[in-house]
Homo-oligomer: A and B are copies of this chain.
Amino acid sequence: MNEGVEWAMHSCLNLAWIGEGGDGRDGREGGGPRAVTAARLAAYHELPTAYLNKQLQALVRAGILSSVSGPRGGFRLARGLDRITLMDVVVAIEGPDEAFRCTEIIGQGPGAVTTGRPSAECAIAEAMGRAELAWRRELAARTLADVRAQAERQAPSAPERIRRWFASTA
Q: Is the CB of B6 within 8 A of A102?
A: yes
Copies of this chain in the oligomer:
2
Give the total of A residues in contact with B, Cβ under 8 Å.
Answer: 55
**A86, B127: Cβ atoms closer than 8 Å:** yes
Using an 8 Å CB-CB cutoff, how does the interface string of A135-151 with B read, 1 for contact, 0 for none?
10111001000111011
Inter-chain contact A109/B1, CB cutoff 8 Å: no
Are the CB atoms of B150 and A123 closer together than 8 Å?
yes
Complex alpha-carbon distance, A161 and B114, angstroms = 14
With A134-B134, A138-B131 already in contact, the answer to whether A124 and B10 are too (CB < 8 A) is yes
Interface string of A91-128 (1 = CB under 8 A from B): 00000000111110110111101000000111111111
Question: Which chain B positions have C-beta within 8 A of A1?
Answer: 99-101
CB distance A44 to B6 under 8 Å? no
- Contact yes or no, B10 A106, CB < 8 A: yes
A167 at the interface (CB under 8 A from B): no
CB pair B127 A146 closer than 8 Å: yes
A162 to B10, CA, bound (A): 51
Determine if A68 is an interface residue (Cβ-Cβ < 8 Å).
no
Set of chain B residues within 8 Å of A72, measured between Cβ atoms: none
Interface assignment of A155: CB less than 8 Å from any CB of chain B: yes
A109 near B151 (CB under 8 angstroms)? no
| Interface check A43, CB cutoff 8 A | yes
| Closest partner residue, chain B, to A105 (CB atom) | B45
Known: A6-B124, A103-B3, A132-B135. A108 touches B150 (CB 8 A): no
